[in-house]
Structure 1
Amino acid sequence: MTEYGRSPGSEPWHPEDPLYGDGGWEGQQAHAGQQPAYGGQPQHHYPQQPQQPGYGDWGNGQAQQYDPQQYQQSYDQQQYQQYQGQQQAYHEGGWDGTGTHAHVPYAADPGDPYGQQPAAYGAEQPDFYGTPDAYPPPEPPARRRPEPEPEPEAEQQQPDWDPGPDQGEHAFFAGGGGDDEDDDEPEGRGDRRGRGGKGSKGDKGKKRRNGCACLVVVLVFGGGIGGVGYYGYQFYQNRYAAPPDYAGDGTSENVNVEVPKGADGSEIGRRLKAAGVVKSVDAFVSAFTSNPEGAQIQAGAYILKKEMSAQSAVEMMLDPKSQANVMVTPGQRNIQVYKAIDAKLGLSSGTTRGVAEKDYKTLGLPSWANNNGDIKDPLEGFLYPGTYAAAKGMKPAAVLKEMVQRANEAYGEYDLKAKAEALDLENPLQVITVASLVQAEGKTDDDYRKMAEVVYNRLKSTNTETNQLLQFDSTFNYLKNESNIHISESEINSNKDPYNTYTQKGLPPGPIGNPGADALKATLNPTSDGWIYFVATDGESKTEFAKTYAEFERLRDKFNESVGN
């Protein structure tokens, strides 16, 4: 573009420019008397249709693109403040107080929509060059800084979903912070993230989070539907369907199952299912309760087959042939128990007895057991009555240890030391010894208490009837390993064994059998009627008691008549 009266590039810098010369505006005062610039001719402006903004390059006369916003950013703030003060001075009375005013531009054309926008330098628009209204004042070429390269706009990429009018992303799918996280982030960091655009790594992470969130929702709904279906099926199975069960008598594979004491149908069913005998606990419980003899299944070991129907398993457990057990009965002697264990374990005769004699100290006896050298068997009285598992493959010591443990539990329910003192006995072992005598001589529960009183009365030092001799046939039979009620007086009186209570005062060295719970309770709670004699008048199950020797003789005659003596 061409100014009036001046060719392009003929004047590189206006003398009234605030940045001109050494003194800035002071330099302007030196030219106060001069005519206005542009050859003294008034400058006229003819508004025309706006063109692409630009300004002349005073150095080479070439037009360059002019961006007001970028130019403003490069403008020195300090000079802009100085210009503001001069602008105020101009409106109050001129630039330097001399009354010299700059040209006032024509008013903008109301019909021109671009009239108020910046125009290119030298265009046919109002020209404020060299006046206080010029904004921003141009810099000298020497101080002009290169314009920054325009940053490429971030590549816009549409999201995979419709985020709504605000083009935002929901905090749930963004994975956390939402607006708060953006507000707290430094400005520079936010700019860098913004330049990343939707195709940056951050957005890939968001997409992954979006996918994970959707996957979680799917899994939650899918799990809920699956859970409803599962419980619905279970409800149907429990309410209407029969429990799972095998068919038939099982395979050829045998399995040993031990049933603990006090186990009910459910516990037995769980053990059978764990061993592979039955298919379900419910099936066994149903067969167990529907069988009239099911309650007769007791603790012990059973030899069964795998994959049996529940009904077949119940019937086989009721068959004595399937019971891999050793049963200790009240009053039974150890020698009999040893033989039974050998038979169940498939061992040669005498094996278990040898283990008992050799390893008795390792089987768990209480400290007060085996307290003298005359005891024939330290385990006597400690193989507690009950049913014990004894299947092939088991060790004799394991079976014996279980029996001793059961005795310790039963005897531990009482303070035997205090009971011994109250009954005028020396130690707990003597309590068990008396209980074994009561068990061997008594026949009924009522007999046990009377029999215990007979023992205590004969042990008294004031006893003049038998002179502290118990005179029990059971003790002599024990030492002879017999069960004979017809013993001659000459045989008895000639034997001086410590267990012969016809020739030895007081109790035998130790128990003569394994007493049961009823005999033990009677031993701890005897009668106090004065009984000192007794006779099995029928030779088998009926026992009668007497307080005097004369009554005893009548009872003895009765016995002789019953057995044909």
Structure 2
Amino acid sequence: MTEYGRGPGSEPWHPQDPLYGDGGWEGQQAYAGHQAAYGGRTQQQYPQQPQHGDWQQMPQPGYDGQPYPYYADQGQTPYDPQYPGQHPQPDGHPEPGHQGGWDATGTHGQVPYAADPGDPYGQHPVAYGAEQPDFYAAEDAYPPPEPPGRRRPEAEPEPDPSVDDEEEHAFFAGGGDDDEDDEPHERVGRAERRAGKGRKPVKSKKRRTGCACMVVVLVFGGGLGGVGYYGYKFYQNRFAPAPDYAGDGTGETVTVEIPKGAGGWDIGRRLKEAGVVKSAEAFVHAQGTTPGGDSIQAGAYLLKKEMSAASAVRMMLDPKSQNNVMVRPGERNAGVYQDIDKKLELAAGTTQKIAAKEYRTFGLPSWVSNDSTIKDPLEGFLFPGSYAAAKGMKPDTVLKQMVAQAKERYAAYGLDAKARSLGLHNAFELVTVASLVQAEGKTHDDFRKMAEVVYNRLKPTNTETNQLLQFDSTYNYLKGTSNIHISEKDINSNQSPYNTYTHKGLPPGPIGNPGEDALKATLNPTHDGWIYFVATDGTTNTEFAKTYEEFQQLKDKFNATSGN
């Protein structure tokens, strides 16, 4: 530590000394490690204290760039402005060692203290005319305090253990952004606690602490519980087997109706609702792993309750379990009525009577003919397919399904507009032609040729048959038979409109229920000039001819084959 003072060995004053003139205080900062002598006396040397931050930059109290004032009532000679920088001595002479008004230390000269020479700072005169504390009398009072404006906040006292037990972290005490407005009060509270004036009550914080902890526990507990639950469901859905029954079911049976177009999930849900399977998931899995499982058709199925999904799939694939009525392409209504009676366990003829009585309520298309000569108004409108028909159902319910399907399919083809383009009067006649094509044709390839035969014979220019269709199928429909050997006597003696040997044009209505293939062929016939046909083998092989001579050859072939 470098010592600096007026004693022996001190450096002489020089005009370039940084402590000269207005640089007095800044000079002191340049020599922050030195302590100046007061009053021109030899300084008592103190150990160099560490300087921190901007403490060493602070000006001396009361210094504002002007010399310190002196007051006579303090035993000091008044300051004479004619001698700036000089401090007169009691004898009227300047203090020895002053050069140009500043002492060599860069501080103002002082009047000698009247205090004990052993303690030159014990009774330092007050510079501002007011009582000030003695910062140098105490042994541990050095360095002097900074000005109030530059004082640093006092260090926080060690927390009182009793207070720590009561006060919690702001999060657990319910604090947050809303508590920012309470910061000044908190500071006051701290000051009061430091001063020993008491503490704030913390009961409300205790209550908020408990609520906050409970909320945290519930939130994290609920989150973990939710993650666990959905994780378990995910595992169950992805890896665990679906709930399923075991075995072939109980002795209790139930009928389940499967609508047209139903997929695996829809079928599974219906079976679950009926108590057949335990879950739709199990059924879908069984359907996908069973050969032919995707071929389950719409209809009614007689199944057992509490079956395993695999057993349910196998049973639905067995035709014996199907409580359905099948309408085959070309089948007449009479046969459909009989099948419904059997499936519903009704007396024979029940369904036919209901059909004849209530057919107007079944939703037939508006273009259906009301001709009184029509044998059955529903003929041609029980569309081929599979329909649910289980015990307990009513016949009209089953019939309405069939009529609705026919109405939907015919509307999709736009039959009314197509009929006129083919030389017919309306859609009803077109359905009648389709029923003839279905009854006389044997194969898919036959249907288009057969449709052309019908259209050609209906033409007014037809000189081969003179608009007579001459179809055995119409006569058989009239008689309710299916004979291929009809005598000319029987044919010629019957004058029914359904006898196309004696009656020109189409029969009064359809003679059966045409299927999709026959209907499409009727809408798209060939144009090769076919006008005759003969089932030469009597069953499956039909041959066509354009002239009467060709027809006679085909007829001879048929007679030779059939033994006529």
TM-score bracket, normalised by the shorter chain, equals 0.5 to 0.7
Mapped partners of 1:414, 1:236: distance in 2: 48
Question: Residue 345 of structure 1 aligns with which residue?
Answer: 344
- The code of the aligned residue for 1:436 comes to S
- The code of the aligned residue for 1:345 comes to L
Map 1:37-116 to 2 at 5 A: none
Q: State the 1:421 CA deviation.
A: 0.9
Mapped partners of 2:431, 2:520: distance in 1: 11
- The code of the aligned residue for 1:557 comes to D
Secondary structure, counterpart of 1:271 in structure 2: helix
Whether the aligned pair in 1 keeps the contact of 2:173 and 2:208 (CA below 8 Å) is no
Mapped partners of 2:453, 2:382: distance in 1: 26
Question: Residue 221 of structure 1 aligns with which residue?
Answer: 224
CA deviation vs aligned residue, 1:223-264 (integer Å, no higher than 9, x gap): 224433443455442xxxx54432222101101122333445
Map 1:456-467 to 2 at 5 A: 456-467=455-466
More displaced 10-residue stretch of structure 1: 428-437 or 478-487: 478-487
Mapped partners of 1:222, 1:243: distance in 2: 23
Whether the aligned pair in 2 keeps the contact of 1:174 and 1:210 (CA below 8 Å) is no
1:325 pairs with 2:330: no
Question: Residue 178 of structure 2 aligns with which residue?
Answer: 178
Q: Using structure 1 for the length normalisation, give the TM-score.
A: 0.65
Mapped partners of 2:232, 2:372: distance in 1: 73
Mapped partners of 1:415, 1:368: distance in 2: 12
Question: Residue 412 of structure 2 aligns with which residue?
Answer: 413
Mapped partners of 1:313, 1:351: distance in 2: 32
Q: State the 1:275 CA deviation.
A: 2.3
Mapped partners of 2:216, 2:552: distance in 1: 101
Q: State the 1:163 CA deviation.
A: 2.7
Whether the aligned pair in 2 keeps the contact of 1:173 and 1:213 (CA below 8 Å) is no
Question: Residue 376 of structure 2 aligns with which residue?
Answer: 377
Question: Residue 301 of structure 1 aligns with which residue?
Answer: 300
Q: Using structure 2 for the length normalisation, give the TM-score.
A: 0.65
- The code of the aligned residue for 1:305 comes to K
Question: Residue 113 of structure 2 aligns with which residue?
Answer: none
Whether the aligned pair in 1 keeps the contact of 2:173 and 2:206 (CA below 8 Å) is no
Mapped partners of 2:163, 2:182: distance in 1: 21
Cα distance change, pair 323–106 in 1 and its aligned pair in 2 (3 A): closer
Secondary structure, counterpart of 1:413 in structure 2: helix
Question: Residue 521 of structure 1 aligns with which residue?
Answer: 520
1:163 pairs with 2:168: yes
Q: State the 1:431 CA deviation.
A: 0.7
Question: Residue 283 of structure 2 aligns with which residue?
Answer: 284
Cα distance change, pair 233–415 in 1 and its aligned pair in 2 (3 A): closer
CA deviation vs aligned residue, 1:100-134 (integer Å, no higher than 9, x gap): xxxxx9968869x9xxxxxxxxxxxxxxxxxxxxx
Map 1:432-451 to 2 at 5 A: 432-451=431-450
Root-mean-square deviation (CA, aligned residues, Å) is 3.3
Mapped partners of 1:306, 1:161: distance in 2: 67
Cα distance change, pair 497–216 in 1 and its aligned pair in 2 (3 A): same
Whether the aligned pair in 2 keeps the contact of 1:345 and 1:393 (CA below 8 Å) is yes
Mapped partners of 1:346, 1:336: distance in 2: 15
Question: Residue 267 of structure 2 aligns with which residue?
Answer: 268
1:472 pairs with 2:478: no
- The code of the aligned residue for 1:228 comes to G
Whether the aligned pair in 1 keeps the contact of 2:257 and 2:301 (CA below 8 Å) is yes
Secondary structure, counterpart of 1:360 in structure 2: helix
Whether the aligned pair in 1 keeps the contact of 2:167 and 2:202 (CA below 8 Å) is no
Cα distance change, pair 406–180 in 1 and its aligned pair in 2 (3 A): farther
The percent of aligned pairs where both chains have the same amino acid is 62
**Count of equivalent residues:** 402
Mapped partners of 1:404, 1:161: distance in 2: 85
Mapped partners of 2:463, 2:331: distance in 1: 33
Secondary structure, counterpart of 1:224 in structure 2: helix
Extract unaligned runs of 5+ from structure 1: 1-104, 114-156, 186-194
- The code of the aligned residue for 2:214 comes to G
More displaced 10-residue stretch of structure 1: 202-211 or 352-361: 202-211
Mapped partners of 1:351, 1:522: distance in 2: 35
Question: Residue 44 of structure 1 aligns with which residue?
Answer: none
Secondary structure, counterpart of 1:326 in structure 2: strand
Question: Residue 146 of structure 1 aligns with which residue?
Answer: none
- The code of the aligned residue for 2:494 comes to N
Mapped partners of 1:107, 1:183: distance in 2: 36
Cα distance change, pair 520–205 in 1 and its aligned pair in 2 (3 A): same
Mapped partners of 2:227, 2:294: distance in 1: 43
Secondary structure, counterpart of 2:469 in structure 1: coil
- The code of the aligned residue for 1:365 comes to L
Q: State the 1:197 CA deviation.
A: 4.8
Question: Residue 70 of structure 1 aligns with which residue?
Answer: none
Q: State the 1:267 CA deviation.
A: 4.2
Mapped partners of 2:420, 2:184: distance in 1: 86
Q: State the 1:218 CA deviation.
A: 2.3
Whether the aligned pair in 1 keeps the contact of 2:276 and 2:312 (CA below 8 Å) is yes
Map 1:526-537 to 2 at 5 A: 526-537=525-536
Q: State the 1:470 CA deviation.
A: 0.7
- The code of the aligned residue for 2:319 comes to P
Q: State the 1:404 CA deviation.
A: 1.0
CA deviation vs aligned residue, 1:318-375 (integer Å, no higher than 9, x gap): 3332110100000001111011001100111111112211221221111111342222
- The code of the aligned residue for 2:371 comes to N
Question: Residue 399 of structure 2 aligns with which residue?
Answer: 400
Q: State the 1:176 CA deviation.
A: 7.0
- The code of the aligned residue for 1:548 comes to T
Extract unaligned runs of 5+ from structure 2: 1-128, 138-161, 186-198
Cα distance change, pair 233–371 in 1 and its aligned pair in 2 (3 A): closer
Q: State the 1:273 CA deviation.
A: 2.9
Match of 2:234 among 231, 236, 246: 231
Question: Residue 196 of structure 2 aligns with which residue?
Answer: none
Question: Residue 490 of structure 1 aligns with which residue?
Answer: 489
Question: Residue 498 of structure 2 aligns with which residue?
Answer: 499
Mapped partners of 2:228, 2:315: distance in 1: 44
Mapped partners of 1:492, 1:253: distance in 2: 55
Cα distance change, pair 106–509 in 1 and its aligned pair in 2 (3 A): closer
- The code of the aligned residue for 1:163 comes to E
Cα distance change, pair 416–108 in 1 and its aligned pair in 2 (3 A): closer
CA deviation vs aligned residue, 1:509-528 (integer Å, no higher than 9, x gap): 11111000000000000000
Cα distance change, pair 203–358 in 1 and its aligned pair in 2 (3 A): farther
Whether the aligned pair in 1 keeps the contact of 2:343 and 2:390 (CA below 8 Å) is yes
Question: Residue 57 of structure 2 aligns with which residue?
Answer: none
Question: Residue 119 of structure 1 aligns with which residue?
Answer: none
CA deviation vs aligned residue, 1:413-455 (integer Å, no higher than 9, x gap): 2121210110010001111110000000000011100000000
CA deviation vs aligned residue, 1:259-294 (integer Å, no higher than 9, x gap): 333445454334323322223445434544444454
Secondary structure, counterpart of 1:255 in structure 2: strand
More displaced 10-residue stretch of structure 1: 223-232 or 202-211: 202-211
